[in-house]
């Protein structure tokens, strides 16, 4: 990882007021002065200042891709320098366009602003343990969500259509008594009467089958 114990404070492609309309890297919230390290072997192609990135470093990695480390308070390497994985590139800070100290880390397929790719997936693809765990959690969460959605669809298809609830009148029953026993409120006898087209609520007889309101 580019910093130890860094908490992700802005994920890749998070929508917002960035120039691209979304976040082109991942932010790790760390205190100013936290060592920033190369995530693998490569060569420094840029070590300097940019108004947005502040003090930043770009490495061309051994695999041909590029990684960028921005907003540093101090730089510890220079252009053309070869570095190994874990080499300290400088110290984190809050230079450039920031709201607080953090490391902005990017992975790029080409060394230009719109050359970005998912930095956590890049790290995970190179066996970086914490990034692999993070990516695995996201993948697992997506799978669980997809499984739940599929299960709901299957259950909806399998579920039999609800039949209207009914009640067979017994000797001595009244509509208000049926409403109290089956619907929880005697006053709902009017609903039963309307549902069954009963003009006189007192005119019910034993054996008569009544439809009951739903809900």
Cβ distance 213 to 183 under 8 Å? yes
Q: Which of 23, 102, 104, 116 is catalytic?
A: 102
The interaxial angle of helices 189-196 and 175-183, nearest 10 deg, is 110
User: Is 102 among the catalytic positions?
Assistant: yes
Q: How big is the CA angle at 96 (ends 91 and 99), to the nearest 5 degrees?
A: 90
CA distances from 26 to 7, 57, 58 (A): 10, 15, 15
**Among 24, 3, 4, CA closest to 13:** 24
Candidates 213, 192, 214; CA nearest to 201 is 192
Decide: 104 and 86 in contact? Cβ < 8 Å.
no
User: Could you tell me which residues come within 8 angstroms of residue 81 by beta carbon, excluding any fewer than 6 positions away?
Assistant: 43, 44, 47
- Where in the sequence numbering do the catalytic residues fall? 102
């Amino acid at each position: 990882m580019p910093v130890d114990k860094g908490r992700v404070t802005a994920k890749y492609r998070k929508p917002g007021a960035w120039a691209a309309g979304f976040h082109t890297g991942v932010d790790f919230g760390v205190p100013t002065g936290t060592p920033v390290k190369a995530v693998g072997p490569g060569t420094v192609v840029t070590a300097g200042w940019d108004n947005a990135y502040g003090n930043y470093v770009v490495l061309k990695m051994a695999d041909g891709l590029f990684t960028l480390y921005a907003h540093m308070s101090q730089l510890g390497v220079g252009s053309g320098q070869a570095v190994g994985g874990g080499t300290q590139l400088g110290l984190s800070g809050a230079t450039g366009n920031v709201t607080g100290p953090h490391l902005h880390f990017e992975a790029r397929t080409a060394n230009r602003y719109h050359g970005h790719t998912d930095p956590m997936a890049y790290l995970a693809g190179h066996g970086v343990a914490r990034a692999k765990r993070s990516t695995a959690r996201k993948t697992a969460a997506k799978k669980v969500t997809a499984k739940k959605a599929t299960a709901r669809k299957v259950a909806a298809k399998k579920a039999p259509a609800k039949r209207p609830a009914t009640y067979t009148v017994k000797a001595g029953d009244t509509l208000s008594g049926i409403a109290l026993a089956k619907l929880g409120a005697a006053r709902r006898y009017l609903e039963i009467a309307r549902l069954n087209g009963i003009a006189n609520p007192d005119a019910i007889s034993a054996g008569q089958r009544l439809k009951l309101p739903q809900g």
